[in-house]
């Protein structure tokens, strides 16, 4: 590894497994200090063990439910007190909203979970972290979207609607800051990746034939590099 992110501070949500864990490992391998958020403390501790074993800096573990929106403000405050800035924000945590089902059949809790995790938590992250990212030399933010955010996809109702709203929100934020800051803001569509969420959507699928989380982590890394000029785009991983 080349130490491409030496001295950078990155916040990664959904870091306990799947794509978020792979991205955290990749960024840490390039020297970044990672604030890793997810609910599952044991999985975050395992990630920390993996990063340290590979020579990375110890992670800052934040076992938190992102639907606890006020906690997001506190995390941003703690980042300010420790580092005085945030270099990289990766809003990756996602919820599929109960799995595939007709719009008329979704349970209210599943609908609310999809919008809370996929949309509102990311808005709260933007709201809390925008000032910290502006204090960075070359702040970068990216959010994990999905191919179902574009077009019409029967049975993907709350997930597709919340990801479409996420794309609109992130592109709006990108357009607002483009002329006045160094901030670069994008979305990443990872494609089909072998994770727990994918297994819920497609039970019985042979996941060995899919891309693995580590295969898409490089796309996130490329958008974190100081010289990266992409802005307001949806980048397809791979
Ligand atoms: P995953 O392995 O199931 O990971 C989801 C992550 O989100 C976990 O770390 C989970 O952690 C976290 N999370 C979920 N609800 C949370 C909450 N309320 N509070 C905090 N963290 C929460 O799935 P994945 O495929 O890696 O998903 C990562 C992103 O990729 C998602 O945004 C997903 O929509 C997107 N995506 C995936 C695919 C694919 O094919 N896999 C395709 C398109 C888009 P805890 O359970 O520990 O909280």
Domain boundaries, the chain: 9-236
Q: Are 148 and 130 in contact (CB under 8 A)?
A: no
For the CA of 118, the closest atom of ligand 1 is 32
**Residue 120 CB less than 6 A away from ligand 1:** no
- pLDDT higher than 80, residue 4: yes
What are the tens digits of pLDDT across the range 125-167?
999 999 999 999 999 999 999 999 999 999 999 999 999 999 9
**Residue 192 CB less than 6 A away from ligand 1:** yes
| pLDDT value, residue 1 | 67
The dihedral over CA atoms of 163, 169, 170, 174, expressed in degrees to the nearest 10, equals 160
| pLDDT value, residue 84 | 98
Name the residue at shortest CA distance from atom 44 of ligand 1. Answer: 146
SS3 content of the chain, % helix, strand, coil (to 5): 50, 15, 35
| pLDDT value, residue 41 | 98
Rounded distance from Cα 36 to ligand 1 centre (Å): 13
The Cα–Cα gap between 143 and 188 comes to 6
Summarize the confidence of residues 223-238 as an average pLDDT.
95
| CATH number, span 9-236 | 3.40.50.720
Q: Are 34 and 10 in contact (CB under 8 A)?
A: yes
**Residue 67 CB less than 6 A away from ligand 1:** yes
Q: Which residues are catalytic?
A: 159
Query: Please, which pLDDT band fits residue 110 given cuts at 50, 70 and 90?
Result: very high
The residue assigned the tokens 């607002």 is 176
Summarize the confidence of residues 107-127 as an average pLDDT.
97
What does each C-alpha distance from 82 to 11, 17, 70, 132, 171 come to in angstroms?
A: 13, 26, 19, 12, 29
| pLDDT value, residue 2 | 80
Return the CA Rg of the chain: 17
Global pTM reads 0.98
């Amino acid at each position: 590894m080349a130490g491409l992110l030496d001295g950078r501070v990155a916040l990664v949500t959904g870091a306990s497994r799947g794509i978020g864990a792979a991205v955290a490992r990749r960024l840490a391998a390039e020297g970044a200090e990672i604030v890793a958020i997810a609910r599952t403390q044991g999985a975050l501790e395992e990630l920390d063990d993996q990063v340290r074993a590979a020579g990375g800096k110890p992670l800052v573990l934040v076992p938190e439910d992102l639907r606890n929106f006020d906690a997001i403000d506190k995390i941003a405050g703690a980042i300010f007190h420790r580092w005085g800035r945030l270099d990289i924000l990766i809003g990756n945590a996602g919820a599929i909203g109960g799995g595939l089902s007709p719009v008329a059949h979704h349970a209210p809790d599943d609908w609310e979970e999809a919008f809370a995790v996929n949309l509102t938590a990311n808005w709260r992250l933007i709201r809390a972290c925008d000032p910290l990212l502006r204090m960075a030399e070359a702040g970068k933010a990216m959010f994990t979207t999905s191919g179902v955010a574009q077009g019409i996809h029967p049975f993907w109702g709350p997930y597709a609607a919340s990801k479409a709203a996420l794309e609109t929100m992130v592109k709006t934020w990108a357009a607002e800051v483009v002329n006045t800051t160094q901030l670069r803001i994008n979305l990443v569509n990872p494609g089909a990746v072998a994770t727990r969420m994918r297994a819920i959507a497609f039970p019985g699928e042979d996941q060995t034939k899919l891309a693995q989380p580590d295969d898409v982590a490089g796309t996130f890394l490329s958008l974190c590099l100081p010289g990266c000029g992409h802005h307001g785009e949806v980048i397809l991983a791979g």
